[in-house]
Amino acid sequence: MYYIRVVKTASESSAVQVLYYRNRKRVVFKHIGSANNLQDLDSLKLVAQDVINNSIPQISLFEEVKFDNLLYVDHCDFLGVYFTFLH
């Protein structure tokens, strides 16, 4: 899972980074940039969120996705279970 981190630099600007944790240590995935004012900082955070959204190949939890299935569960009936084994 990726996180957005904002860090103060030595020049009193704010650096925006995308990072993740591996073995309880921070690993910087991508450095987005540095900003001197709040408008630039907000735009860099939006860019960082876009980087996170584009780098995770994951389907959203609440997104309605329709697949072309051969078997539709809502149109099926449960007839029972039949076991064939010897004890």
Structure tokens at 73: 């569960």
What pLDDT score does 59 carry? 64
Which residue intervals of 1-87 are DSSP H helices? Answer: 38-55
What pLDDT score does 40 carry? 93
Reported as type and span, the H/E element at residue 16 is strand 14-22
Question: Per residue in 9-64, pLDDT tens?
Answer: 999 999 999 999 999 999 999 999 999 999 999 999 999 999 988 887 666 677 66
What pLDDT score does 30 carry? 94
pTM across the whole model = 0.63
DSSP 3-state assignment of 73? helix
Give, in degrees to the nearest 5, the angle at Cα 47 between 35 and 6.
Answer: 45
